Amino acid sequence: MPASADPNRPMKLVILDRDGVVNFDSDQYIKSPSEWKPIPGSLEAIARLNQAGFRVVLATNQSGLGRGLFDMATLNAIHAKMHKLLAQHGARIDALFFCPHAADANCDCRKPKPGMFEEIARRFNLANLEGVPAVGDSLRDLLAAVELGAQPILVRSGKGERTLAAGGLPPNTLIFADLAEAVDYLTAKAA
């Protein structure tokens, strides 16, 4: 019986940012499938999360949509490439949430606001995200996570080194080199 099917055992869930955590980031945005390149070890790390019984969710700001840098069909093509490469590694993303708005839209779903995380909790029928690992490379990822009690995890990949150098991390933020190292910790802790 899968861990999530046992009513006496809480669901194992992990929330990942996309750019800078799963794939290389770009200050010019990831605007096409050819620009989406996985960080070495990230796809295998997601497979290990799946094998350990975690539901893996992506929560990503995609303001390039709101800025007109790419359209929905292109974002779908980028994610189709990601899903295909994940499948080749025996991995999957269970749900994908994104904010399509530009920063000046003042929406509730753009991290650091907690709207995306609130929606994740609703979709998975959770009262809150207390203790759910949330992996990101920027302060806004971590701030959105802690709003609902999730465990903030900073990776040094992507913008992580800059985020770490800037300081101001939420209390109890765990720090790892990359997603693969974070997953080593999470799967050992869950075993």
* Structure confidence by residue, pLDDT tens digits, 135-177: 999 999 999 999 999 999 999 999 999 999 999 999 999 999 9
Do the beta carbons of residue 123 and residue 85 sit within 8 Å? no
Q: Given strand 174-176, what is the order of strands in its sheet?
A: 95-99, 55-61, 13-16, 133-136, 151-155, 174-176
Question: Residue 11: its pLDDT value, please?
Answer: 80
Smallest CA-to-CA distance from 58 within 136, 164, 148 is with: 136
Query: What residue ranges do the domains of the chain occupy?
Result: 12-190
CA 123/CA 56 separation, integer angstroms: 13
CATH number of the structural domain 12-190: 3.40.50.1000
Name the residue type at position 93: I
Q: What is the pLDDT of residue 103?
A: 87
Taking the C-alpha atoms of residue 31 and residue 75, their distance in angstroms, rounded to an integer, is 8
pTM of the model: 0.93
Nearest to residue 148, comparing CAs of 131, 169, 173? 131
Residues with catalytic roles:
17, 19
Nearest CA among 101, 105, 97 for reference residue 66 = 101
Residue 191: the pLDDT is 83
The average confidence (pLDDT) of the chain is 94
Where does residue 4 rank: exposed (0-12), middle (13-18), buried (19+ CB within 10 A)?
Answer: middle
Q: Across residues 89-94, what is the average pLDDT? A: 98
